Amino acid sequence: MTKPKYIRPLVSELHAYVPGEQPKIKGLIKLNTNENPYPPSPRVLKAVQAAADGRLRLYPNPAADRLRAQLAKLHHCKPENIVVGNGSDELLALATRCFVEPAPKAHKRSAKSVIQYFTPSYSLYPVLADIHGATKNAVPLNPDFSIPKMAELKRAKLWDFNAALTLVTTPNAPSGRSYPVSQLERICGAQRGVVVLDEAYVDFAKENAMPLALKFENVLVARTFSKAYSLCFQRVGYFVGHPDLIDALHKIRDSYNVNGLGQVAAEATLDDLDYYRANFKKIIATREWLSRELTKLGFRVLPSETNFILARPPVFSAQDWLQKLRSRKILVRWFSAPEVKNYLRITIGTQREAEALVKAARRLGH
Ligand SMILES: Cc1ncc(COP(=O)(O)O)c(C=O)c1O
């Protein structure tokens, strides 16, 4: 292949992040991208519709001030503890640019350039590291997807306590497993660089680590309106943490990084939390029902504290199941990474969708 003329080698050689399929065909049961099966609250839809008027010609509030004030109230902190982004993905990317030095080619490894994460976890992290030219430190989780104990992290010498940026998905994706906050606290206390606790799925879990963002000066908690608050389309996420870290992120973000309708939608969401809490309960009930039913059919379902499950199917390979379910109009997700290639990741949809999946699995597996 001839060398691309205009593109940086780092970009030509990059393996970009692969998002889950957004199918063009209608009528599929879509359990592949961890979206919420329930629509935003009627109050949110009304607020967005009401805001879609002549104001669209104006720039939105640059720092999402009203939303940050509401979030500060919710999390018992100050607006200075919060930065809002175009989805939490944008903030994760900003964190790489804010806290990590690109690795100089000719020099030996420096912790200042290290982005560290467990595997498997959110598959965007290595891509962000590659885009930034950082050094990746991918440390395997235990075979049951738990985090190795602190003594083990120290003993194995794989973990870098000086890494510039450590990213922990908690509860984890794609395993669905949660980690005790006490264990996360020990890790945060031991890291000399910045730690991001990525709590994209935390509303479906028993515990959350938000107090750590307000306790440690090097810890950020990432949250999103996408999953629990049915707002993927609007792209709103946020970090909570020490004002010094937050201030630095504000400095490098785009001036108007959160679109106006997204701000309106997120603000209205926070005014109607009871609606969403009722949905969390429904999703958790469906998750537990689906886990039990698939287990009866011979699937090995890992315990989940998220809005998806990771399940090892019987009879055929996971990749075959992916195709067979698709031919029955059910979309789930499969990852080729060795630790998870025998599993399917299944988003929790409505109870009806879960029943359709169980029916299809019963037919296919027998
Ligand atoms: C662990 C994790 N973090 C962050 C995100 C991104 O969320 P957002 O839609 O806020 O960019 C996802 C989305 O799949 C995720 O799985």
Assess whether the C-beta atom of 349 lies below 6 angstroms from ligand 1: no
Q: Does residue 2 register a pLDDT over 70? A: no
Mean pLDDT value of segment 162-166:
98
Q: Whose CA is nearest to atom 15 of ligand 1?
A: 200
pTM listed for this prediction: 0.96
pLDDT score, position 109: 84
Q: Does residue 1 register a pLDDT over 70? A: no
Cα 360 to ligand 1 centroid, rounded to whole Å: 29
Atom of ligand 1 nearest to the CA of 227: 9
Atom of ligand 1 nearest to the CA of 85: 10
Mean pLDDT value of segment 192-209:
98
Q: Whose CA is nearest to atom 2 of ligand 1?
A: 200
What confidence tier does 353 reach under pLDDT thresholds 50, 70, 90? very high
Cα 89 to ligand 1 centroid, rounded to whole Å: 6
Mean pLDDT value of segment 337-359:
96
Please state, for a pLDDT cut of 70, what percent of the chain lies above it: 99
Mean pLDDT value of segment 192-203:
98
Q: Whose CA is nearest to atom 3 of ligand 1?
A: 200
On whether the CB atoms of residues 312 and 299 are closer than 8 A, the answer is yes
What confidence tier does 156 reach under pLDDT thresholds 50, 70, 90? confident
Cα 245 to ligand 1 centroid, rounded to whole Å: 20
On whether the CB atoms of residues 130 and 14 are closer than 8 A, the answer is yes
Q: Which of 36, 86, 198 to mutate to test the pocket of ligand 1 (most atoms within 8 A of CB)?
A: 198
pLDDT score, position 24: 83
Atom of ligand 1 nearest to the CA of 236: 10
pLDDT tens digit string along 105-147?
A: 766 789 999 999 999 999 999 999 999 999 999 999 999 999 9
Assess whether the C-beta atom of 198 lies below 6 angstroms from ligand 1: yes
Cα 76 to ligand 1 centroid, rounded to whole Å: 24
Q: Which of 35, 91, 226 to mutate to test the pocket of ligand 1 (most atoms within 8 A of CB)?
A: 226
Q: Write down the mean pLDDT value for the chain.
A: 95
Atom of ligand 1 nearest to the CA of 225: 10
Instruction: Give start and end residues of each alpha helix (H) in the chain.
Output: 9-12, 42-51, 65-75, 87-99, 124-132, 150-156, 181-190, 210-215, 243-252, 260-270, 273-296, 318-327, 351-365
Q: Whose CA is nearest to atom 12 of ligand 1?
A: 200
Q: Does residue 3 register a pLDDT over 90? A: no
Residue bearing the bigger pLDDT, 106 or 305: 305
CA 26 to chain CA centroid, Å, is: 26
Q: Can you tell me the distance from the alpha carbon of 199 to that of 145, in angstroms, rounded to the nearest whole number? A: 17
Assess whether the C-beta atom of 88 lies below 6 angstroms from ligand 1: yes
SS3 101: coil
Cα 91 to ligand 1 centroid, rounded to whole Å: 10
Nearest Cα to 234, choosing from 28, 26, 69, 84?
84
Mean pLDDT value of segment 285-302:
97
Q: Does residue 340 register a pLDDT over 80? A: yes
